[in-house]
Structure 1
Amino acid sequence: MTTENTTRRGFLRTGAAGVALGVAAPAYLRAQAAPLKIGHLTPTTGFLGPLGEYAQMGIKLAVEHVNANGGAGGRQIELIMEDSVNPQTASTKAERMFERDQVEMIIGEISSASCLTISQVAARYGKCFINTGGNSDSLRGQDCNRYMFHVETQNSMYVNAEGEFFRSQDMVDGKNWYTMTADYAFGHDLLSAAKAFLDANGGVLVGDDLVPTDATDFSSYLLKIRQAQPDVVALNLAGTQITNFLKQYGEFGLDFTLGGFGFDTVSAWAAGAQNFSGTWPNVWNHLVPNDASQAFVQAFTDAYGKPPENQAWGDYNAGLIMARAVAEAGDAGGDTLVAYLESDEAQFDLMKNRKGYFRPSDHQLIQEIYAITALPAGEAQNQWDIFTTSEPLPGADQPLETLAQSVTGGTCTL
């Protein structure tokens, strides 16, 4: 277990960046108030480990900035961090955080299966769990609960955004698709959303393979793809699976149109400019061109010596959102925070063009997302700037909820 008691150092280093990032002065101050204990669970080992490392950096920076600016409603945040490892361990550690450590909420996670077990524990204690990385539609559908909120976007939103790109390139109707799917809850759910999109838009699924999460050798799958000769290869993979696939895809010399329905920029960086290709949906990236976004990039780079990945963005913003919620609601109790986060005044600056809000019906943070497209290797400026970013999706003339329609995963009953 790691306990983080953060200081003013990071905020003083970034100066006015704290204000640009939305770390507003607390609504009220309580002298000598008890610390606000927040638990953070995320995998830092296994195939999701590289993402978990960015998640921890993001939440630590958020706590540093909030504490430097007066805390959450005058309460300094004490951060208690653990490696969630797997769903069973995540459940056990969540219980221990609530029972032994007396945390008032839990933030984090990447695995959709672990999100489910953490949310079940949080609901038993009547405390909030803020999911920052689990994409499964079912977490917003049949597996939703009153105390779980989602900063990360859901699979259907990514599918709808990426689908718009493929439609614009005439790569759907009548085209043959081959998908590769991570063999766990996230992948299965994403595949369901992808199939629904293809069925609705005339795409033909000529092959799909379920891939174990610990797979490192993709040669047998790549041979099958070569034989199938698809128009599009679409990945429903996660974590280091994507990195390994991208490296081997280039080695096999395949040039079918490549993309995916879920993506994290750490996979592109790990693959390198020489291997990264295609267009991918992305909740946020370090190239988003607005002042708040670039202030965060600078603060993160100053702190860690490299730009933030989208998972760092998620955990950082979750920290700011919950600090503001505690300050404005006046309490960290689960029911009080649920009422505030569902209210009309709970709209949040997310370093994007439009503010986001939690949809009361399923607690999904409704927000803009992006598409990133790989640069030719020769045009990469450094190891980080190896892709371009689109304008925000949906377009400014469309409602934010445009991408969050036609979802799978059942119906949410809160």
Structure 2
Amino acid sequence: MRKFLMSTAAVGLTAMPALAEVSDNVVKIGILNDQSGVYADFGGKSSFEAAKMAVEDFGGKVLDAPIEVITADHQNKPDIASNIARQWYDTEQVDSIMELTSSSVGLAVQALSLEEKKITVNTGAATTELTGAQCSPYGFHWAYDTHALAVGTGGALVKEGGDSWYFLTADYAFGYSLEENTSNFVKSQGGTVVGSVRHPLATTDFSSFLLQAQASGAKVIGLANAGLDTQNAIKQASEFGITQGGQKLAALLFTISEVNGLGAEAAQGLNLTESFYWNRTPETAEFGKRFFERTGVMPNMVHAGTYSAVTAYLKAIEAAGTDETEAVAAKMHELPVQDVFAENGKVAANGRMISDVYLMEVKAPDQITEDWDYYNVLATIPGDEAYINPAESGCPLVK
């Protein structure tokens, strides 16, 4: 009997470490984003599906512990997002929160997570402040940011002669960051900024803002907004005959989701920047079709970026042998990011995941050969050119 008890105890001891290194014997990831407002198509419930898809492709477990994904709608309100995040951490044992559209939400939850010593991966927020002055040792930024959008779309239009700009800017952190980054890049290329106007998030009437932009005489009207705001601004600009009058619209944050919502007829000719296109390679096409089967839409850079972020987080847990925050954060900084989203991606000291981005042009309707085949890829912008040099980001973590 003594030998039997000793042998079973030994078996128990050898079986324990895998689960013992995972808090609460489960790895729980929260996808927190806008699921009912202007950014519902931009990320929304499709990002939740992307996260679940990543978990399934990983095998459903890490260190022999099951992986669970939960989600909630923050309604684009930082206070609501912070309350949900605190509840998730305090009562629901959530280990990491991801996606986090929009920028004000992303900053608020990253700050709370620093206090709670939890990992966040922003894939929906855009502001460079996440990896700048407000960076966190446990905060990571995937998929894109306002600097990459400025280099891509802003750079392309200045080269084409669009050297005077006027901005229509969403009145919160994201809009300010996108306007500032694009303005700085336009000026660095010899262009000028003649003015700007700010509009409320989710406004339905852009008429007064567009008339001010039209009266400015700027060659380019930069739309420093996203989601339905950008779609509505483009539709109303057409009604005012702005593009017919010779001014160009720059959709500074526009994804394939919004192109599909606007329609190829209205969107044709737009230049935009994304870090993922489903029809770019055989591997991205295979991923896109699998994603479409479960969501009914093709993935944009936020959806594919969420898939990549979840995968990277799980790989870091596996490599660290634990889900303890310090160890996992260290591995996320150390491991390369090589997946369907990023080829040879790397995580910098400020938490910015650096990978290539792509300058796109929306095809004319007669060029589209299959559903969602909306883009011509005009240029590949290397990640080191698209993103701010970490040493110049203002992040105090970068020595």
Q: TM-score, normalised by structure 1?
A: 0.84
Contact residue 73 and residue 323 of structure 1 kept, 8 A: no
Which residue of structure 2 lines up, in the alignment, with residue 11 of structure 1?
Answer: none
> Partners in 2 of 1:406 and 1:208 — Cα distance?
27
> Partners in 1 of 2:81 and 2:103 — Cα distance?
11
Which residue of structure 1 lines up, in the alignment, with residue 329 of structure 2?
Answer: 338
Contact residue 305 and residue 341 of structure 2 kept, 8 A: no
Q: SS at 1:80's partner residue?
A: strand
> Partners in 2 of 1:405 and 1:413 — Cα distance?
14
Residue 324 of structure 1, CA deviation: 0.8
- 1:254 maps to 2:254: no
Gaps of 5+ in 2: 1-16
Residue 209 of structure 1, CA deviation: 1.4
Q: SS at 2:38's partner residue?
A: helix
How many residues end up aligned between the 2 structures?
372
Residue 351 of structure 1, CA deviation: 2.3
- 1:378 maps to 2:361: no
Which residue of structure 1 lines up, in the alignment, with residue 96 of structure 2?
Answer: 105
> Partners in 2 of 1:146 and 1:353 — Cα distance?
22
- 1:208 maps to 2:210: no
Which residue of structure 1 lines up, in the alignment, with residue 180 of structure 2?
Answer: 192
Query: Which residue type is aligned with residue 250 of structure 1?
Result: S
Give the structure, 1 or 2, with the largest relative contact order (CA under 8 Å, sep 6 or more): 1
- 1:84 maps to 2:67: no
> Partners in 2 of 1:203 and 1:87 — Cα distance?
35
Matches for 1:151-300 after TM superposition, within 5 Å: 151-171=142-162, 175-255=163-243, 256-277=247-268, 278-289=270-281, 291-300=282-291
> 1:37 and 1:288, CA in 2 relative to 1: closer, same or farther beyond 3 A?
same
Which string of whole-angstrom CA distances, capped at 9 and with x for unpartnered residues, describes residues 304-354 of structure 1? 2332222211111111111111111111111011111222xx001142573
> 1:248 and 1:350, CA in 2 relative to 1: closer, same or farther beyond 3 A?
farther
> Partners in 2 of 1:113 and 1:31 — Cα distance?
36
Query: Which residue type is aligned with residue 404 of structure 1?
Result: Y
Contact residue 141 and residue 411 of structure 1 kept, 8 A: yes
Residue 194 of structure 1, CA deviation: 1.5
Contact residue 127 and residue 333 of structure 1 kept, 8 A: no
Matches for 1:311-330 after TM superposition, within 5 Å: 311-330=302-321
Which residue of structure 1 lines up, in the alignment, with residue 384 of structure 2?
Answer: 401
Residue 253 of structure 1, CA deviation: 2.8
> 1:176 and 1:407, CA in 2 relative to 1: closer, same or farther beyond 3 A?
farther
Which of 50, 53, 58 is the aligned partner of 1:58?
A: 50
> Partners in 2 of 1:319 and 1:308 — Cα distance?
15
Residue 187 of structure 1, CA deviation: 0.3
> 1:391 and 1:170, CA in 2 relative to 1: closer, same or farther beyond 3 A?
same
Which of 354, 364, 367 is the aligned partner of 2:343?
A: 354
Q: SS at 1:390's partner residue?
A: strand
Contact residue 230 and residue 251 of structure 2 kept, 8 A: no
Q: SS at 1:342's partner residue?
A: helix
Query: Which residue type is aligned with residue 276 of structure 1?
Result: A
Decide which moves more: 91-100 or 215-224: 215-224
Which string of whole-angstrom CA distances, capped at 9 and with x for unpartnered residues, describes residues 246-296 of structure 1? 22222333322222332222111111112114201112122222x331221
> Partners in 1 of 2:300 and 2:189 — Cα distance?
32
> Partners in 2 of 1:408 and 1:196 — Cα distance?
18
Contact residue 342 and residue 355 of structure 2 kept, 8 A: no
> Partners in 1 of 2:370 and 2:115 — Cα distance?
48
Q: SS at 2:395's partner residue?
A: coil
> Partners in 2 of 1:49 and 1:355 — Cα distance?
30
Q: SS at 1:243's partner residue?
A: helix
Q: SS at 1:274's partner residue?
A: helix
Structure (1 or 2) with the greater helix fraction: 2
Q: SS at 1:48's partner residue?
A: coil
> 1:140 and 1:388, CA in 2 relative to 1: closer, same or farther beyond 3 A?
same
Identity of aligned residues (%): 25
Contact residue 349 and residue 356 of structure 1 kept, 8 A: yes
Q: SS at 1:225's partner residue?
A: helix
Matches for 1:107-122 after TM superposition, within 5 Å: 107-122=98-113
Which string of whole-angstrom CA distances, capped at 9 and with x for unpartnered residues, describes residues 157-192 of structure 1? 221122332243233xxx321221111100011111
> Partners in 1 of 2:353 and 2:342 — Cα distance?
15
Asked which structure has the greater CA Rg, the reply is 2
Which residue of structure 2 lines up, in the alignment, with residue 140 of structure 1?
Answer: 131
> Partners in 1 of 2:385 and 2:279 — Cα distance?
23
Gaps of 5+ in 1: 1-28, 395-399
